[in-house]
A and B are shown apart, each in its own frame.
Chain A
């Protein structure tokens, strides 16, 4: 029984069709990455899962219950970190954490203090004086200090610095080890690559890809750079080989995973001196869906988060 199951979900705001037949399935115990560009409908989906918004059509079930009808009962089993955390300006951070914990049904004091320490958050400051990153930490600490089965995190690390990002990843691994399920909507692809068992990629309110990272990688091409003793010929005739370029005596090309074997069989005949093969990063997957008008070479270097060869 999946923890979250969404089928053909539709939500419109006036003339804007925010969700247009979205599908999503999150199994118990997994960390599920929920990826999509701004305005693609991630927050809208999450709000429907929390029973805050009403769906127009389609199915949405959380723990096999209807999130709109059974909202309160479900909320006791989950913790939510909103994308844009706002707090009561005249409460201290510590008070806000305790209040959220209590309203959710109780929180683990020891964990709370540990988390405050790990995230380096001063709980005596008034919420109005917190930066965006610190408000985000308040919501994260309140969520991770509650003992729940499902964590719904909407871009939780926007505003955190790299050090805190690492702390966040440790905490997610910890709750996963405790058997919890996590739905993690994110922009940070490195974070998703590091944490998620499976990902769903959405665009304009529709799921365009879903599966494990390995499965998704199979759908796309591997980049290969090769240097041979004799001039390399006959590549164009091979099936599944694309984007062949010669630079400084090396050949760069892209190959579909299914045809990797044939390519290697061909290459050895020319005396391979050096070979690197780079599996596609999530970034490339992502850009393949959203930046398809851009040439692959430019897309791969767009923001320098490329994970390198593995």
Chain B
């Protein structure tokens, strides 16, 4: 078939371009699955603990909404409840980004035109991308099955569970194939695909919340909306309990239907064109845009708004869940111990709230890295050169970006504290007082975020070519030290590398000024080092 000519060659090209990314995904996701499963196994070692967990998970609407419908009190079912949604989202998002990267992004940058002029069929580029991404899902799922079995779970159930998660990746591979045809830009295609993931999450959450509690209270039968969601299908497989293989036909069917739709759309449009027309903008700039600060706000506001909505929803839910958490820990001393270790105090609900604020601070670290790395993006694509050839100095430009990222981080941590406090206050009393208290406690996390901004700035100044990879690596290290450090009993010297380690875990413990002052000083030193290096180096480099 001539429309597919060159697919093999292009697939090799995709593999070649993405060998590092694919390797990180195919090895990293199963490794994460193994680590998570391992820690769940150690927290719920015996039947009574798992029974307690399963009963709470099946009764709690918040647990149903976030973790999905628990299938029973088997060890495997508990592991699925704790890890499924994280892994499924990782597979879904990595699949969509990979598909868009090799289809729409190629068209956007004109690479596709170059390839299209060579002896390459009309569908070859899309097919090559799909082949590689589906293969990556299969490989990652196979390794994940091995990882779950390695963590001490039954082999057959592990294969089904991993296949269910791989199935989510396959389903969203198909979705991305369609969104890549619809939008003219890769950003737009990614946003559409991510929106599809969001809708799938909401449908699944709705179906699971509306479902019935059965089997002596340790199991949830989801309502029909869950069956409309590719994220829900993975739960309906009921790995380790019923092992319903046939449900996996759904993601495969979706993939085939989506690919057929994508081919039909590709047939109907020109290379580079889309079906969603790009919007127009104003013919001249509003006064508010005409400064580095105005520009930074304009470029960041969309991202910041997205983060704000996510943080608020999550904070509010976590706050409301605080009350159910009280009930759960009464039944499970092992979980209580884990939370106390994370939060670091005696009063368990305060430890829980402190742990939540800590998690928010880590997550918002990703916002800071993302916002700061815009500077490097501007440098790589050439905008920075054009800006620095105007009357804007390097110091002013960099300072504006740092200020924008820091203000964004401030707004987000404050919002996280306020919404968590409000949510908990609504179920436990005194919503306003608690919102104010937790808002203040959340602000104490800001110095750690400033250190993150400092790390990115220093890398940008000193090692610009490595700054993207190393910045994310640094945040990942902080995350692992914070989340797994206590579980893995790492030495204190290692834990001290992360700025998050030094933040007093308010409200579980009293606030102390010294660590905050020291962290702020470290942040300032890193920022100054980065700015000095930036002022003395070549642009672009």
What CA separation (Å) do A23 and B140 show in the bound complex? Answer: 58
Quote the shortest CB–CB distance from A125 to chain B (angstroms): 6
Contacts A72-B391, A85-B386 given; does A128 touch B280 at CB 8 Å: no
B 132-170 to A, binary, CB cutoff 8 A, 1 in contact else 0: 000000000000000000000000000000000000000
What CA separation (Å) do A72 and B282 show in the bound complex? Answer: 29
What CA separation (Å) do A87 and B295 show in the bound complex? Answer: 12
What CA separation (Å) do A47 and B385 show in the bound complex? Answer: 9
Quote the shortest CB–CB distance from A121 to chain B (angstroms): 11
B118 touches A (CB below 8 Å):
no
Let me know if B281 and A124 touch, CB within 8 A.
yes
Quote the shortest CB–CB distance from B239 to chain A (angstroms): 42
Let me know if B382 and A102 touch, CB within 8 A.
no
Let me know if A89 and B386 touch, CB within 8 A.
no
Quote the shortest CB–CB distance from B533 to chain A (angstroms): 13
A59 touches B (CB below 8 Å):
no
A221 touches B (CB below 8 Å):
no
B 33-44 to A, binary, CB cutoff 8 A, 1 in contact else 0: 000000000000
Residues of A within 8 A of B385 (CB): 47, 52, 82
Quote the shortest CB–CB distance from A281 to chain B (angstroms): 32
Let me know if B283 and A92 touch, CB within 8 A.
yes
Residues of B within 8 A of A47 (CB): 385, 538
Contacts A86-B383, A98-B290, A128-B185 given; does A52 touch B279 at CB 8 Å: no
Residues of B within 8 A of A103 (CB): 290-292, 387, 390-392
What CA separation (Å) do A125 and B280 show in the bound complex? Answer: 5
Let me know if A52 and B388 touch, CB within 8 A.
yes
Quote the shortest CB–CB distance from B8 to chain A (angstroms): 31
B289 touches A (CB below 8 Å):
yes
Most chain B CB within a 10 A radius of its CB, from A52, A71, A82, A91: A52
Residues of A within 8 A of B184 (CB): 128-129
In the complex, which residues 75-94 of chain A have their Cβ closer than 8 Å to any Cβ of chain B? 75-76, 78, 80, 82, 84-94
What CA separation (Å) do A84 and B381 show in the bound complex? Answer: 9
B492 touches A (CB below 8 Å):
no
B285 touches A (CB below 8 Å):
yes
Residues of B within 8 A of A98 (CB): 284-285, 289-290
Question: Quick one: which of A71, A88, A129 contacts B299, CB cutoff 8 A?
Answer: A88
Contacts A80-B389, A104-B391 given; does A125 touch B281 at CB 8 Å: yes
List 12 interface pairs A-B (beta carbons < 8 Å), by A numbering: A54-B536, A80-B386, A82-B385, A82-B389, A84-B382, A85-B386, A91-B281, A94-B281, A103-B392, A104-B390, A125-B281, A139-B386
List of 8 A-B pairs having minimum Cβ-Cβ separation, nearest first? A92-B281, A98-B285, A103-B390, A86-B382, A102-B290, A80-B389, A95-B285, A94-B283
